[in-house]
Structure 1
């Protein structure tokens, strides 16, 4: 007997009926992950909606990416008057749900762009270089440069919160390229330029809305309402699908954050949280080997945190074998075998189920009607159940989207409130590096001004010295000119007629005086002016004295 809608005997989520018995997704094995696959229009969304309702009714919160925008109706009870709901009551009666009734579910809406739900943000540091490199499609060399930028930021205490911070950090690394190359390895400006261009592309896809604060707290995903029902977290992803890399990276980041933040619980009686990733192929398309290993690691280890991950995709071969091998619970809707790839998918799906002699999987999988699926779920002992053809339980909530007004009311009245609505821009790498750049520019300007002042002072001193030297040269030249002019004046004065007459008279007088003095001296010395000896000596004396007076 079903005690709560979607819950079978408190043991698990009721999926539907097939093989003459109910098919139940056991709570203790729900963290072993699962797959919901099928071609477009075969009923995957209705199946997903019913499973989410079952978890919510059991008090298990969930997260689902609403790619097409039609899962928002899970917040409202269905209606018998709606065309899409008309066959649901009949199907409920067909599979024996005697207490089936329309019902709503507690919902929180989220949106990376903040338009159809509360903004979802994380910081650049929390995202990390690996996922950012995947998001920006960087090669190994460029990823290495990005990792160096993260390392330097961490070492120097620079917070990387948003794209502006990362851009400023890359500019800082480019300026220190030679220094960082010597310490960490090659940091080429070409690689940094490529990363900067990738950041511009990321901005154009709306990436600046995703990176910043307040960052999402994982605890807000794990909530229950006042009735004990698990809250359904719905991410509006219809616009996000236009940026598939951002979508895929966000999902991987979300899984990684849960893995790192939740404690180890082993295999709990019920999951702590269940994730449903629609259009799962986007997570794996063109993924590098390193990224695939990261996804595989998270999927494998997050089970011990009590988290179940369910991938929803059109084709089961979209999931890599290393990941698909860990998906224990499987719901396979119809596949079409029109192309070789479709035929390969049918064959691959047929081999993943535990065989049932009464079900030819390869044949039935192409014959399933809308609302039917091949189901194999983990039993309480952990073994997969034999595959059964199952009529899926109809959802109790509305099938289809909410109106814009209904969504606004839900957002305004949920438990989150306005906690994430206003962005916060605290001091981080951009501001710190900008301040340092301004300080450096001011110091450089001051040094330049001081240098120019010193240069001007030196030039002035040199000019003053030159002027003093010129003045000295002029003074010396003036003195020399004065002496020269004095000499010329003296020479001219000496050559005047009067001076020549005076000079001539003086000389004549001097000669006469000289002769007289000589005679007197000769007389005094020799006592006479006569005699042979005296005449010679007297002549000498007269010559000397006459020359003396002549020169006067």
Structure 2
């Protein structure tokens, strides 16, 4: 048996599964595509997370699109983070191309152009299903980690959440939390210190500055009601296809704090609300995070730790998370070690740093007698990648350089008219379009402060009236005494005896 036959046997043996699977493309050896040597990923292990990496322009986004399309066809809902705006085209069928036909002929797969059921979601003012969450839903621990709070500041945040719960003050948006923070350091300082302990003005001032920073990145739009129900991410169509939820993030690329805040809250909410899945045949939901380095950019160690914990635990809920980025080194080691499927597109060795990164990347893949992994990483073409997955028993499949199949949907953006058409047909747009601003901590505390100020003003006015009345009575008494004395003096001075005495003396002096 020659080398090619041995390789072909290893690929077919390593890609034989009892359950359902997704075909990614055909294996390559020495730069040649081996037709019908299909590289597959079993649905059963897709909740073990994954990585799609590679240099700009090597086809990462198209690989993401291929996976999302095939998951949808298998009845598995998908959530996509669309950072560049080029994933919305999944809602329309591919127009086809001669190069696509040529590629699929080499792979040994027919090309079937089709569109997919899409829901457009948004974190900002863009048209689509509005995503929101309340401050209360975050809880004190998660809220503290998003703010990168110190131990002392985290303690204050916990006190404020506890006070809000005890006094039934809903914390819905950031202005609610800012109001209760202000109340705790001014009007309600004595009340809170008596029941919960002292709050340092310096620490509360630092917390306020961090909230203002969050607001400047647009988080004030995200916090509030109506909260998004994560069950709406797991919808399927009447014909059994999974809905592909595309979050349009083109206008928040320069706001990593908002992006990481949203992602962490979403993953935490999914983990807390989804039931335990156990060892099922396929995932309940698969999440793709494009430009994944933005989640970890400027994030604290505490935030990294929180994401790592959720990634470890959430797979038991039947949820797979796939990070899409340029280099595996963009992902923290603790998260990278949890990723079962790795699709590695080409890397470019322009600098010494690049060569070092390629060496580290190669070490993340299983050894293969058929590839010099470092060399292959720099020689892969567009739409080609090294793939290593987990089989149904959780073992790595043979490493395979793969010519990937082309997306069945459009590899381009939708027009504004097409976007409007999707939103007009959406039931969720109407469900989440109305912004609710019911009475919450801000209004309730404002009423309490206003009432206290009004009572204080009345008491002050009462005291001032009493003081004025007392001063007036004293003045009248003094004037009455003075008046009586004056009258007595005039009477004395005008009496006949005095007049006679005075004139008598004057008379004597004149003689």
Q: Please indicate, yes or no, whether the TM-score normalized by the shorter chain is above 0.5.
A: yes
Cross-structure match for 2:107: 95
Residues 169-318 of structure 1 aligned to structure 2 (within 5 Å): 169-175=180-186, 176-177=188-189, 180=192, 184=196, 187-318=199-330
Cross-structure match for 1:28: 44
Question: Which structure 2 residue ranges, 5 or more long, are not aligned?
Answer: 1-16, 29-33, 506-511
Instruction: Name the count of aligned residue pairs.
Output: 481
Q: Higher relative CO (CA 8 A, sep ≥ 6), structure 1 or 2? A: 2
- Of 485-494 and 336-345, deviating more is 485-494
Residues 311-390 of structure 1 aligned to structure 2 (within 5 Å): 311-390=323-402
Given candidates 13, 25, 29, the residue that maps to 1:16 is 25
Cross-structure match for 2:75: 59
Shift of 1:161: 0.9
**Contact persistence 2:145–2:302 (CA under 8 A):** no
Q: Give the greater-gyration-radius structure (CA).
A: 1
Shift of 1:217: 0.6
Given candidates 120, 138, 162, the residue that maps to 1:109 is 120
Task: Describe the superposition over 1:125-144 as per-residue Cα deviations: whole angstroms up to 9, x where unpaired.
Answer: 22344444454455444444
Q: 3-state SS of the aligned residue for 1:275?
A: strand
Q: 3-state SS of the aligned residue for 1:416?
A: helix
Q: 3-state SS of the aligned residue for 2:378?
A: coil
Cross-structure match for 1:119: 130
Query: Measured at CA, do residues 86 and 433 of structure 1 come closer, stay the same or move farther in structure 2, by a change above 3 Å?
Result: farther
Q: Distance in 1 between matches of 2:438 and 2:191?
A: 29
Cross-structure match for 2:163: 152
Cross-structure match for 2:7: none
**Contact persistence 1:34–1:309 (CA under 8 A):** yes
Shift of 1:385: 0.7
Q: Distance in 2 between matches of 1:277 and 1:340?
A: 28
Query: Measured at CA, do residues 39 and 486 of structure 1 come closer, stay the same or move farther in structure 2, by a change above 3 Å?
Result: same
**Contact persistence 2:128–2:429 (CA under 8 A):** no
Q: Distance in 2 between matches of 1:493 and 1:14?
A: 139
Shift of 1:178: 5.8
Shift of 1:224: 0.5
Task: Describe the superposition over 1:230-263 as per-residue Cα deviations: whole angstroms up to 9, x where unpaired.
Answer: 0011111111112111112211111111001111
Query: Measured at CA, do residues 192 and 491 of structure 1 come closer, stay the same or move farther in structure 2, by a change above 3 Å?
Result: closer
Q: 3-state SS of the aligned residue for 2:227?
A: coil
TM-score normalised according to structure 2 size = 0.88
Task: Describe the superposition over 1:296-347 as per-residue Cα deviations: whole angstroms up to 9, x where unpaired.
Answer: 1100000111100111110011111111111011111111122233223222
- Of 21-30 and 298-307, deviating more is 21-30
Task: Describe the superposition over 1:18-59 as per-residue Cα deviations: whole angstroms up to 9, x where unpaired.
Answer: 165322221111101111111111110111000000110011
- Of 378-387 and 162-171, deviating more is 162-171
Q: Distance in 1 between matches of 2:424 and 2:74?
A: 25
Q: 3-state SS of the aligned residue for 2:361?
A: helix
Shift of 1:294: 0.8
Cross-structure match for 2:61: 45
**Contact persistence 1:10–1:58 (CA under 8 A):** no
Q: Distance in 1 between matches of 2:410 and 2:326?
A: 23
Query: Measured at CA, do residues 489 and 395 of structure 1 come closer, stay the same or move farther in structure 2, by a change above 3 Å?
Result: closer
Q: Distance in 1 between matches of 2:184 and 2:200?
A: 9
Question: Which structure 1 residue ranges, 5 or more long, are not aligned?
Answer: 1-7, 496-552
Shift of 1:478: 5.6
**Contact persistence 1:271–1:306 (CA under 8 A):** yes
Shift of 1:426: 0.3
Task: Describe the superposition over 1:355-409 as per-residue Cα deviations: whole angstroms up to 9, x where unpaired.
Answer: 2211221111111111111001110111111211111111100001101110110
Q: Distance in 1 between matches of 2:361 and 2:194?
A: 53
Query: Measured at CA, do residues 65 and 97 of structure 1 come closer, stay the same or move farther in structure 2, by a change above 3 Å?
Result: same
Query: Measured at CA, do residues 76 and 467 of structure 1 come closer, stay the same or move farther in structure 2, by a change above 3 Å?
Result: same
Task: Describe the superposition over 1:98-122 as per-residue Cα deviations: whole angstroms up to 9, x where unpaired.
Answer: 3x31011111101111313221111
